[in-house]
Amino acid sequence: MTLSEPLSIAAPAGAPARIQHYIGGTMVDGVSGRTFPLADPVSNRPYAEVTAGDAEDVDRAVTAARGAFHGGWRDLPARARAGILTRAADGIEARSELLAVYESFDTGLPITQARGQALRAAENFRFFADLIVGIHEDAFRAPTQLGYVLRRARGVAGLITPWNTPFMLETWKLAPALAAGCTVVLKPAEWTPLSASLLPEIMAEAGVPDGVFNVVQGVGEVAGAALVAHPGVPVISFTGETATGRVIMRAAADHLKGLSMELGGKSPVVVFADADLDAALDGCVFGAFSLNGERCTAGSRVLVERTTYARFVERLAARARAVRVGLPSDPGTEVGALVHPEHYERVLGYVEIGKREGARLVAGGGRPDHLPEGNFLAPTVFADVTPTMRVFQEEIFGPVVCVTPFDDEEDAVRLANDSRYGLAAYLWTSDLSRAHRVAERLDAGMQWVNSHNVRDLRTPFGGVKASGVGREGGVHSIDFYSELRTVHIATEETHVPRFGADGERGD
């Protein structure tokens, strides 16, 4: 593209000009009638109005969800709920191209990556449909009693999601909540509500009864906070920033709500000199820059053994410079536009902080010349970053990666764990014993050895330290949306100490 070519900014055909709530099976405006404008990240010009939900709207949605919970959803046989979820997966697959186009337009994610996320969203539904049919309730046999566990859906689940991969993360919560028998109120991120606007027709078509699935649009501090404060919502599943997580935990404490908190990250990639360095390089570039670097599990701190450090930094910088930054809609684009001008300014701010702190800028650091407008940042690599620098410690959430040398295994573990976060970690080595040794010592909820982030949906997902509280994924998600109650049955006569038995003799 040349400088004189205008950026393509037309909203996708069929995209709604007004994005509404979905309550009790109907698309509705908010009670207040207020809206806010929604812009795309390439032109930053508004293309739609979004209904600004508030406490009254949340209350209507919770009332609808409670009605549907008690009105039959929780009592449906698992097979029946699974059938509906499978049809929802089919509906997502049938619309996967449209979903990807919406998502890419709204978030700035490259279209090829948005396509992958749309298919993953369908898999979320299919996976939890299968799981709920196969899931069992535990039984415990003891010499004199049998205990068995009853699973019961917890009620209305409040789901609050971020903007980075909106549709995928919404479905990652929706599918297990619905599978477990909860009804839901979803509050999508205010910067990226477009793809969620397709959910009502997908759900209705799949046979989800009215009121089981509700969406309240709006800003976090109003609509999200009202959902957290609502006494009719016993569980909140939240994905977003650690700072927001703290606010939500405080607000939820008054009601002793069940919480699942998937928070921020600053994940290390540890590259030992004995690794397959070509594969490690591919992993580092993809881990740092895929999804525009707006990824909770991004490998944003690359730690490289000193004997191979200089050469590795050179190769990483060369690869970063060659990453194709472009329009999100272009299938050749590898890094698109950052989601919002506010976020773009924040990421650019970190680039300036890194320079001021004395980190060595070896790639990127500013807007690519061929993209004069929009929230575009050239993939940025800082070398010689030390652990006291803010760019080493703070989550930047953009296409910016820091590289730091280490001397030996001990040093690598120390640097990797020198973070308040602990979401993911990546390890590259050909020494099997070392892989196990280091994996055992890393403070990270999820680790990948000689691989990038390939998820197995059955495994526990979540972070340690400031990266989260609780685990989702597989049966862990179902457990979160369920109350487990235990029934103990005596199988033999049980000796009961006879308190007060002396008194009976006198009668």
Residue 182 annotated as catalytic: no
* Burial status of residue 327 (CB atoms within 10 A of its CB: 0-12, 13-18, 19 or more): buried
DSSP one-letter string for 83-148: HHHHHHHHHHHHTHHHHHHHHHHHH---HHHHHHHHHHHHHHHHHHHHHHHH----EEE-SSEEEE
Asked if 241 is part of the footprint of ligand NAD (rule: CB under 6 A), the reply reads yes
Number of residues that bind ligand NAD (CB under 6 A): 30
Residue 284 falls in the annotated catalytic set: no
Q: Does 240 bind ligand NAD (CB under 6 A)?
A: yes
What is the number of H-type helices and E-type strands within the chain? 16, 23
- Spatial contact of 25 and 204, defined as CB atoms under 8 Å apart: yes
**Shortest CB 413 distance to ligand NAD, Å:** 22
Residue with Cβ nearer ligand NAD (320 or 396): 396
Among 22, 312, 397, 448, binds ligand NAD (CB under 6 A): 397
Catalytic residue among 262, 294, 305, 472: 262
Q: Which of 468, 470, 473, 474 binds ligand NAD (CB under 6 A)?
A: 468
Work out whether 57 is an interface residue with ligand NAD (CB under 6 A): no
Query: Can you tell me which residue has the tokens 């297990």?
Result: 176
Identified binder of ligand NAD from the candidate list 157, 248, 259, 377, rule CB under 6 A: 248
Query: Residue 445, interface with ligand NAD (CB under 6 A)?
Result: no
3 state DSSP class of 441: helix
Q: What are phi and psi of 432, to 5 degrees?
A: -60, -45
By the rule CB under 6 A, 221 interacts with ligand NAD = yes
Q: Which of 155, 220, 258, 354 lies at the binding interface for ligand NAD (CB under 6 A)?
A: 220
Tokens 């030996």 belong to which residue? 408
Cβ-based nearer residue to ligand NAD, 18 or 250: 250
Our CB check for ligand NAD shows the closer of 82 and 222 to be: 222
Instruction: Beginning with the edge strand found earlier in the chain, give each strand of the sheet holding 18-19 in spatial order.
Output: 18-19, 46-51, 35-39
The reply on whether position 193 binds ligand NAD by CB under 6 A is: no
> Binding mask 150-189 vs ligand NAD (x if CB under 6 A, - otherwise)?
----------xxxxx----------------------x-x
Examine residue 264 and tell whether it contacts ligand NAD (CB under 6 A): yes
**What single string gives the DSSP state of each residue in 14-71?**
T--SEE-EEETTEEE--TT--EEEEE-TTT--EEEEEE---HHHHHHHHHHHHHHHHT
DSSP assignment of 219-244, as one string? -IIIIIHHHHH-TT--EEEEES-HHH
Of 308 and 467, the one with the shorter C-beta distance to ligand NAD is 467
Minimum Å distance from CB 348 to ligand NAD? 16
Q: Does 447 bind ligand NAD (CB under 6 A)?
A: no
Q: Which is nearer to ligand NAD, 289 or 312 (CB)?
A: 289
Taking the C-alpha atoms of residue 310 and residue 317, their distance in angstroms, rounded to an integer, is: 11
Q: Residue 11's closest CA among 94, 107, 106?
A: 106
Instruction: Tell me which residue of 271, 299, 247, 310 sits closest to 421, measured CA to CA.
Output: 299
Q: Report angle CA 234, 165, 202 to the nearest 5 degrees.
A: 70
224 binds ligand NAD (CB under 6 A): yes
114: its two tokens = 């948005």
Task: For 249-287, give one letter per residue: b (16+ CB within 10 A) or e.
Answer: bebbeeeebbbbbbbbbbbbbbbbbebebeebbebbbbb
From 247, 273, 353, 464, residue interacting with ligand NAD (rule: CB under 6 A): 247
CB of 424 to ligand NAD, least distance (A): 9
Asked if 357 and 390 touch (Cβ cutoff 8 Å), the reply is: yes
SS3 state of residue 199: helix
From 296, 305, 395, 472, the catalytic residue: 296
State yes or no: residue 296 binds ligand NAD (CB under 6 A): yes
Nearer to ligand NAD among residue 101 and residue 446 (C-beta): 446
CB of 266 to ligand NAD, least distance (A): 9
Burial of 358 (0-12, 13-18, 19+ CB in 10 A): exposed
Tell which one of 85, 99, 225, 288 touches ligand NAD (CB under 6 A): 225
Give me the least distance between CB of 225 and ligand NAD, in Å please. 4
Is there binding between residue 22 and ligand NAD (CB under 6 A)?
no
- Pick one of 57, 106, 262, 305: the residue that binds ligand NAD (CB under 6 A): 262
- What residues line the site for ligand NAD (CB under 6 A)? 160-164, 187, 189-190, 219-221, 224-225, 228, 239-241, 244, 247-248, 262-265, 296, 395, 397, 423, 463, 468
Q: Which residues are catalytic?
A: 262, 296
